[in-house]
């Protein structure tokens, strides 16, 4: 039996992959259609609109959960303040130069903490 070249073997495998992908899509479509019909039937029965579903999923307005999942953070109050310049830092991210220079000079980061009343 003659050896097949790499290119021929690869082409056969890619063709088989495409055939299997199409088969998987057809199966998914076949299994999903009854579920979609059932959902639509229930929506009609209970007079539920697509807009209500979007709102329930938080698509219409940005929900707190969606914001939290996306990693979006709101503004943070400063935690440290330089006594002479008044510069502030939240304590997040890379420390500003005035903090690193003060620490290199032997000062403690805690000496810059903003006192809460």
| pTM of this structure | 0.39
Q: Measured between alpha carbons, how far is 87 from 50 in angstroms, rounded to an integer? A: 50
Report domain extents, the chain. Answer: 6-70, 80-112
Residue 94 to residues 84, 97, 98, 115, Cα–Cα distance (Å): 21, 9, 12, 22
Given this model, what pLDDT does residue 115 score? 84
First to last CA, the chain: 87
Considering the chain, what percentage of its residues have pLDDT values greater than 90? Answer: 50
Given this model, what pLDDT does residue 2 score? 63
Per-residue pLDDT tens digits for 1-28: 567 799 999 999 999 999 999 999 999 9
Per-residue pLDDT tens digits for 59-115: 655 555 555 566 667 788 899 999 888 899 999 889 999 999 999 999 999 999 988
């Amino acid at each position: 039996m003659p050896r097949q070249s790499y290119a021929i073997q690869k082409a056969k495998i890619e063709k088989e992959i495409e055939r299997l992908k199409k088969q998987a899509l057809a199966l998914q479509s076949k299994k999903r259609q009854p579920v979609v019909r059932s959902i639509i039937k229930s929506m009609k029965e209970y007079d539920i609109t697509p807009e209500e579903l979007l709102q329930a999923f938080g698509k219409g307005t940005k929900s707190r959960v969606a914001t939290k999942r996306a990693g979006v953070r709101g503004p943070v109050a400063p935690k440290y303040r330089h006594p002479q310049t008044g510069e502030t830092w939240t304590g997040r991210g890379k420390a500003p130069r005035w903090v690193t220079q003060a620490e290199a000079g032997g000062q403690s980061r805690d000496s810059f903490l903003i006192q809460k009343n």
